[in-house]
Structure 1
């Protein structure tokens, strides 16, 4: 039986029909909608924000479905104590898609320690951080759903491990339009996502004071070169009275950071940055901060569609990026 279907934004009833066909899926949407779906070979996460073929939008009455066009998958859950084994459980040839709840201990473990997990950067892993409607921050909890068991979790990661046939290869891609600016060089004495003290051009200072001096406020991330890849760390909040800054991902000890240059027209530059023929694109996501700060509501981002997220995974945790995965087949 041909189970190939097109994904996208769809009703709960339509998504249920796809699940019941046995298709391997990732699904994003409100918790109340995910809980209505039947059990099957899928994982889900909460967000009401999506990049659709018609552009970015907030929708609380539908779910976004990504179809993986494969039959050889397994679903797994990990807590903060077992998460380090995630890629040891992954197939030798394939890929893994992970969804982690925002604000959870399991996300904190992934953010701080994923680069040191066994088989990291050897086996492909992509994914995203689930969240809630921005009006409900601090009131509702981000969650993930194990479609195989039907269980909703706020303190675990769900993972879909996908095996590929011989001759097929998964490729992880990121689109990061930010570059380091010309401001002060910042370094930190410890790996952390809650900061006060930092070194500013080699002189001890306070990160909250540095941010206060930036005209762009919290809109621009810190950017650093991680072994040849430019990686963003976004600012979540600043407590000026305490002189303390909360980040969406940790900065790492000894790495040199600068604030990013502004991006004038994000959608246009995103279109230019995406490959003209990206191949068989099976998964994609984009950051909520790009959606907010770059005015993506109603605007398209090339062929990349999927959930708008509260953090992205391309091996390690990323911020203010888009992530997608393609599967390449030998001729």
Structure 2
């Protein structure tokens, strides 16, 4: 390889690269967040990077599925050296405590792992959570590989890969720079029934519909609910989605991509007629300067985003988004603002 090769100019929130340009970026010494198919990640040399497996992207030319390209975002290094740290299910509660007093943490979590479940259920109650900016995403696999391959997270400094640990990069920032985290959710609660759950979890059989106890799977079938639309709840002014993973009519059970909570009222979302246009129209003007972003694989699939653009922001299309807590069917992005 020609050592003088220069990577192509890329959007601030990252770009989709071939392997050779990714190697150049790694060898530059920059701190990088990388998303790609596991086989491609295992071809990378040591460097200052962390990565998660996923082959779906919102690239500079639009939505793209690729096992041969890597999505690369350069992380800020304004005020010292970022620190990479592993977390298992037992130590995950320390993720905000370990973060710098003033900075940004990016966390990658392998889907379907114990650490994924622990974060989804308990993150809002972690000490210092919401006091220190934290974003991230849930690593996944190609949908053709579901049940055959496990999502993976990788530490580029050690070339250690894990299917059951989360990896964070804690990034110190100067006092003059503040990381502003934004959630772009296209969905609003519909005008239909109010739904509550008797317990918190990733699955449910029973629910209360307008106060009446019902089987959720039967309710969805009777009402002809389009389960591509998530449940939406108002979490202290923020609209948070819980997406449907599967409906087992025979067992009377519904599975979700994030937990439902027993103290929250949900409604089925209003339909979104045009995902790509809605994302572009909903982004504020300053989103052009976003330094990091991710979006949801369900938006990619249900919105037909392959070949479509969602405004100026690029990023991996993931099995879940993190903005302090686990989210579904949203876009999360970070701007670095001068105070």
Q: Shorter-chain TM-score: which interval?
A: over 0.9
In structure 2, the partner of 1:26 is: 33
8 Å Cα contact 1:64/1:307 also seen in 2? yes
In structure 1, the partner of 2:171 is: 162
Match of 1:8 among 3, 15, 22: 15
Q: How does 1:33-112 map to 2 (within 5 A)?
A: 33-70=40-77, 72-112=81-121
**89-98 vs 212-221, greater mean Cα deviation:** 212-221
CA distance in 1, matches of 2:145, 2:83: 32
SS in 1 for 2:150: coil
Match of 2:180 among 171, 176, 179: 171
Q: How does 1:118-157 map to 2 (within 5 A)?
A: 118-157=127-166
CA distance in 2, matches of 1:67, 1:76: 18
CA distance in 1, matches of 2:252, 2:132: 40
8 Å Cα contact 1:172/1:325 also seen in 2? yes
**209-218 vs 266-275, greater mean Cα deviation:** 209-218
Unmatched segments (≥5 aa) in structure 1: none
CA distance in 2, matches of 1:313, 1:69: 19
- 1:214 Cα deviation after fit: 4.0
CA distance in 2, matches of 1:74, 1:36: 23
- 1:72 Cα deviation after fit: 2.5
SS in 2 for 1:75: strand
Q: 1:279 to 1:50 in 2, by over 3 A?
A: closer
**128-137 vs 108-117, greater mean Cα deviation:** 128-137
Q: How does 1:293-308 map to 2 (within 5 A)?
A: 293-308=302-317
- 1:66 Cα deviation after fit: 0.6
- 1:267 Cα deviation after fit: 1.1
Match of 2:261 among 252, 266, 284: 252
- 1:39 Cα deviation after fit: 1.5
Q: 1:288 to 1:214 in 2, by over 3 A?
A: farther
Residue 283 in structure 1 maps to residue 292 in structure 2: yes
CA distance in 1, matches of 2:42, 2:131: 34
CA distance in 1, matches of 2:142, 2:104: 29
Residues 132-191 of structure 1, C-alpha deviation per residue, up to 9 Å, x if partnerless?
A: 111111111111111111111000001111110120000111100100012211111111
SS in 2 for 1:286: strand
Match of 2:190 among 181, 185, 189: 181
SS in 1 for 2:144: helix
Q: 1:21 to 1:5 in 2, by over 3 A?
A: farther
- 1:38 Cα deviation after fit: 1.4
Q: TM-score, structure 1 length as denominator?
A: 0.96
Match of 1:265 among 274, 277, 293: 274
RMSD of aligned alpha carbons: 1.4
In structure 2, the partner of 1:274 is: 283
Unmatched segments (≥5 aa) in structure 2: 1-6
8 Å Cα contact 2:109/2:165 also seen in 1? yes
**11-20 vs 168-177, greater mean Cα deviation:** 11-20
8 Å Cα contact 1:234/1:249 also seen in 2? yes
CA distance in 1, matches of 2:164, 2:91: 12
8 Å Cα contact 2:288/2:313 also seen in 1? no
SS in 2 for 1:256: coil
8 Å Cα contact 1:196/1:208 also seen in 2? yes
Aligned residues: 328
SS in 1 for 2:286: coil
